[in-house]
Structures are given as structure tokens and as C-alpha cells.
Amino acid sequence: MPREVAIVGAGIVGLATAHHLLAEGWRVRLIERGGVAEGASFGNAGALAFTDVLPLASPGILRRAPAWVLDPLGPLALPPAYLPRIAPWLLRFWRASLPDRHRHATAVQAGLMRLAARAMDAMVASAGLSGRLRHDGNLELYESEAELAAAEPGWAAREREGIAFEHVRGDRLAALQPGLSPRFAAGTFTPNWMTVDDPHRFALALHADVTARGAALTKGEVTGIAPDGDGVRLALADGATLTSDACVLAAGAWSRELARRLGDRVPLDTERGYNTTLPPGAFDLRRQLTFGGHGFVVTPLATGIRVGGAVEFGGLRRPPNFARADAMLRKAAAFLPGLDTGGGRQWMGFRPSLPDSLPVIGPSRASPRVIYAFGHGHLGLTQSAGTGQIVADLLAGRRPDVEVEALRAGRFG
């Protein structure tokens, strides 16, 4: 009889994990507290950023962060009332930025990205999603040669990992993206960066595929997970219980408390991301643009042009501050003269982030039958298929093709 696995969370990571486990012969039940892919998977920037191997925790960002924090509408916001809660996370973030730890995390992230790219190619082909990918690359923009020079160590690290890129200026820059403000002196083009047509549509198409292959969906909020003999018992908020042979916790920003009840204190916190999606045709956007000095991107989607990004630490309960989305939109209008900013739809979502920018993927302290798959920060879509492959390997007793020890829940002590 086929084994059964319960996956807590029907976002892109849970769906990609379902895809891989169905291919291994598992019977799959997805359990989702809201709608399918209606969390961070709904309104993200749509990037398959396999070249984005540098952890956020780096010596460079520590030099820039204080100035950002002082600007309530800047790339990084930290409400003073939230500081006591986030302080332990920030201490671990500082430790992760130390040179030796940063180099190790970069190597681990690069290995995970190589696996993620291979696994995504296979999943997209198997699920018939190839037509939903754009292969236009990404263009990161700099307002001065000094800003490009400051980014050079990061590009050197990517070069060591075999990542292709091209620094561009003048006519080449203008050809890659016509209509840029003349304030931009240079850019870096990464040709192997991809985007999806729309992240929510992409996730729903994957859900349709796993459903056609036999995955079931249960609507409900999981309040507890516990080993139960040779299996796992899940408690739901409505008083119901479910049993399964194994469980995968892929609940994104809502994973921390469930992991704590299993005995793992994971320093997961929530980066709140904002965006505005403008109607199609708002600008002749040729590819995703990254404004790294301002902490946001502009992405061409089938559903419009998405202007979003930035980081706001504030947990799951504070009300949204859409002034942050407005600030990014004003900057985008200055950077892309001719951008029509009317008719936009605003959104805020929760990114589940860990101090070292690496996800938690691996067995829980309570049982090897409970596998964690959360904490991907800005890279959930990018790393979703790779995560599904790692989970499938772990449940099959195979050693994954990454340094999985560096992804364990207990790595923070």
C-alpha cells in the first residue's frame, strides 16, 4: 500500500514538495489554513533567482543598515516597538555576517541553488509549466561607478561559483532597458535569471497538476504535530485530528510555533514585503530590474508590472503600512520616466526569514518522520523544487545532493 504524507502548507514550497513525493509513490494530503498559494506565494516578485547566492547577512549590509533603519520608508524598516522581539534574531544576523560564516553560507547557498535549478527544470517539464517561464535575465542598476565598485566583491563571489554576468554601460545598458533615467551610470546583467508569468498563476497551475496526480487538499489550521507510533498525528483548530505516515512542515511564516512544539526553537522571523502591481502596458519593461541601493525590483508579469520588495520587520500581527509601497512606486516613477503609476493594486505578504539566509530543511528533533521545509526568505519560489527534492530524498533514506547538515533546525544552538 502506498505511504501517506501530510504536507502542512499549500504555498509554492508545499506544492513543489507534493510534486516530488507523488513522483516517489507517496499519497499526498496538503493541509492549508487559507487559500492555495495565497501567502508569500501570491504576491512575490516572480523571480527564479538561481544566481542570487549571497546571503543577506554580510559585512556590507551591516554598514548600510543603520542609515536604512533611520528612514521609515527606506529599504529596511524596524518599528521601535518590535526591537525587543527581533533583538535575538539581529544578534544571530550579526554573527552570520562574520567573514568565515558568510563564506560558508554562500557556498551552501550556491550548492542549494544548483540543485534548485536542476529540480525546477525537471518539475516545470513534468508539470507542463514551461510556457510560464521568461528567460530575459535580470538587470541590476547603479547610480554611480562607486556603487558598482562597492558591489564588485559580491560579483567576484558569484564568479567563483560559475555564475555568468556582464557589467554594462552606455548603449548596451540602454539596449537592455530603454527609457531608464540618466541617473543610472551602469548595470550588471545576469542572463540566466528567470521569472514566471505570475507567481500565483504559476503556483495554481502546479496545484492543478498535483491534484490531477492524486494529491488531496484539506482546509484547516494545524495547531499541533506529534509522533504517533509508526506515524504522525496532526491536530486541527476545529478539533479534528489526522494521522499520516509522515509529515512535512512547509507553513512558511507560520512554521515557527509548530516547530517549537516539536522541540525545535528556530529563530524564524517575518520580513513583511510590499508591492504595487500596475496594469499591463504601464511601461515597456524588457526584463526584471533590480534597484539594489533602494531595496526593490520591478518585474514584468502577464498580469502587469510589479514594483515591490524592501524589508520590514514587524511580525504577523501589525497592520500593513502601505506608505512603504507608495514610496517604492514614487521611486520607480523617477527611475523609469514614462511609467504610468495609475490603477495599481497594493499587497503585503510575509517572508519567513532566518538570520543566515538559509532555509530549514531536515528532520525535526521529535521524529525523522516529521521533515521541516520552511524559512526561505526571499527565495521560496526559487528554491521550491530543490526543497521538494531534498524532502523526497530524506523520506526515502537517501543522502541529498547538498550540504543538508547546514540546513538543520538545530544549527543555531
Pick from 63-77, 201-215, 272-286, 380-394: least confident: 63-77
- 342 φψ region: left (φ > 0), alpha (ψ -120 to 50), beta (else): beta
What is the pLDDT averaged over residues 15-40?
96
pLDDT, tens digit (0-9, with 9 covering 90-100), for 151-160 = 999 999 999 9
Helices and strands (H and E) in the chain: how many:
11, 21
Distance, CA of 265 to CA of 137 (rounded, Å)? 38
| Class (C level, CATH) for 1-53+108-129+194-268+354-413 | alpha beta
* Residue bearing cell 551552501: 108
Mean pLDDT of the 188-214 span: 97
> Which of 58-72, 78-92, 380-394 has the lowest average pLDDT?
58-72
Chain center to CA of 49? 9
Q: Is the pLDDT of residue 43 over 50?
A: yes
Alpha-carbon gap, residue 214 to 358, rounded angstroms: 31
d(CA 243, CA 266) in angstroms, rounded, equals 25
Residue 212: CB atoms within 10 Å: 10
Residue 96, C-alpha cell as written in the block: 552570520
Q: How far is CA 254 from the centre of its chain?
A: 15
Q: Using the predicted structure, report yes or no on whether residue 413 has a pLDDT greater than 90.
A: no
- DSSP for 271-328 reads EEEEEEEEPTTSS---SEEEEGGGTEEEEEETTEEEEEEEEEE-TTTSPP-THHHHHH
pLDDT tier, 79 (very low <50, low <70, confident <90, very high otherwise): confident
Say whether 197 sits in a helix, a strand or coil.
Answer: coil
DSSP states of 203-261: HHHHHHHHHHTT-EEEE--EEEEEEETTEEEEEETTS-EEEESEEEE--GGGHHHHHHH
Domain spans in the chain, listed from the N-terminal domain onward = 1-53+108-129+194-268+354-413
At a CB cut-off of 8 Å and minimum separation 6, what does 230 contact?
245
**CA–CA distance, 148 with 188 (Å, rounded to integer):** 9
Question: Does residue 73 register a pLDDT over 80?
Answer: no
* Predicted pLDDT of residue 1: 46
pLDDT of residue 312: 87
Average pLDDT, the chain: 94
Q: Which pLDDT tens digit goes with each residue over 225-268?
A: 999 999 999 999 999 999 999 999 999 999 999 999 999 999 99
CB 59, CB 97: distance < 8 Å: yes
pLDDT of residue 318: 87
Dihedral of CA atoms 334, 336, 341, 346 in degrees, nearest 10, equals -90
- Bridge partners of 6, per DSSP, are 29, 247
- Confidence (pLDDT) at 81: 83
Query: Cell match 507510533: residue?
Result: 229
Q: Report the pLDDT value the prediction gives residue 56, as an integer from 0 to 100.
A: 86
Contacting residues for 148 by C-beta, under 8 A, at least 6 apart: 142, 167, 185, 186, 188
Give the tens place of pLDDT for each residue, 110-121: 999 999 999 999
* CB neighbourhood size of 289 (10 A): 24
Q: Which ranges of 35-144 would DSSP assign to H, the alpha helix?
A: 40-43, 59-70, 83-96, 99-127
Judge contact between 210 and 32, C-beta under 8 A. no
Give the mean pLDDT of 185-211: 97
Cell of 87: 533583538
How would residue 375 be classed by pLDDT, with cut points 50, 70 and 90?
A: very high
Give the per-residue pLDDT at 176. Answer: 98
Q: Are 410 and 365 in contact (CB under 8 A)?
A: yes
Average pLDDT over residues 90-109: 92
pLDDT value at 332 more than 60: yes
Q: The C-alpha cell of 293 is what?
A: 541601493
Q: Say what the pLDDT of residue 62 is.
A: 64
Q: For residue 129, what pLDDT is reported?
A: 98
Q: What pLDDT score does 2 carry? A: 62
H helical segments located in 344-408: 380-396
Contact assessment for residue 76 and residue 127, using Cβ atoms and an 8 Å cutoff = no
Look at the block and give the residue holding cell 501589525. 318
Amino acid at 397: G
Percentage helix, strand, coil for the chain under 3-state DSSP, each rounded to 5: 40, 25, 35
User: What's residue 68's pLDDT?
Assistant: 62
- The pTM score is 0.95
**All cell numbers assigned to 252:** 512558511
